[in-house]
Amino acid sequence: MRFGKLDFSPGLWPSVITLVVLGILIALGLWQLDRATQKRILLAGYTVDPNATVVQLEPDLQSVTDLRYKFASATGYYDAKHQFLLDNRTSHGRAGYHVLTPFKLRESQVAVLVNRGWIPMGVSRAELPDPDVATQRRTIEGRIKQPLADSFMLGDEQPRQRWPYRIQRIETERLATELGIRCCPSYFCSTVNSRMVMSGTGIHCRSGRSVTSAMRCNGLAWR
């Protein structure tokens, strides 16, 4: 290939390396655009009236379609033995995870995933942190969020070895299968009445609002 008097003839390996690097840069650019979209959606949802009635989550909750970003309350127990670490999360420039802990509603085998906040990665990616949480019965409050269906993933997820499991995307149906219980299709973002993993990582609810019961039906009707 000639450009004027210049003869441009790249070899095979330089061409291959250039294409690989270009593909990686494009993937990272799409990931950044996806994160920006998520943040815009998140900020729009947080304009919900903070004085609104708190929704009470129950094991027979039917639908969360109209409950996104609403304040909610739930009573039950944390399952500290089966937690997920949501990968590729940063805080003040440090790499880490968001801790997702199943919260079993009352005495049922139905759970809602609770995002308890951010923790640092640790010494290396090969050594996963194992965050602790008390398992006594409690009532928690937070905001309801629904996972984005097409969030970007940096490669395939690694095979599961031992708990906690590292994940790149919140897919409640698949995670429920791994837990062996039913899970709400939404998840909690931060809590009030249980200790956050690290302070300043989530949205806290104010107390003093009235509580209303959520819609009821069997879990198969969740959408």
Cα distance between residue 211 and residue 71, in whole Å: 10
pLDDT (0 to 100) of residue 62: 66
Cα distance between residue 85 and residue 128, in whole Å: 9
pLDDT (0 to 100) of residue 150: 64
Other CB atoms within a 10 A radius of the CB of residue 117 amount to: 23
At residue 218, does pLDDT exceed 80?
Answer: no
Other CB atoms within a 10 A radius of the CB of residue 214 amount to: 21
Cα distance between residue 19 and residue 25, in whole Å: 10
Predicted confidence band of residue 44 (pLDDT cuts 50, 70, 90): low
Residues 6+ apart with CB under 8 A from 167: 84, 85, 86, 87, 100, 157, 175
Query: Across residues 194-210, what is the average pLDDT?
Result: 36
CA nearest to 117, candidates 200, 12, 217? 200
- The DSSP result for 125-151, as a single string, is TTS--------S-EEEEEEEE---TT-
At residue 55, does pLDDT exceed 80?
Answer: yes
- Enter the tokens of residue 95: 């790499």
DSSP letter assigned to residue 221: G
Pairing of strands 182-189, 138-145: antiparallel
pLDDT in tens, 18-28: 888 888 989 88
Q: pTM of this prediction?
A: 0.66
pLDDT (0 to 100) of residue 46: 57
pLDDT in tens, 139-148: 998 888 888 7
Locate the DSSP E strands across 148-199.
Answer: 165-167, 182-189
DSSP letter assigned to residue 120: E
Cα distance between residue 113 and residue 29, in whole Å: 29
Higher pLDDT, 184 or 68: 184
Cα distance between residue 50 and residue 71, in whole Å: 8
**What average pLDDT is seen over the chain?**
76
Cα distance between residue 126 and residue 55, in whole Å: 40
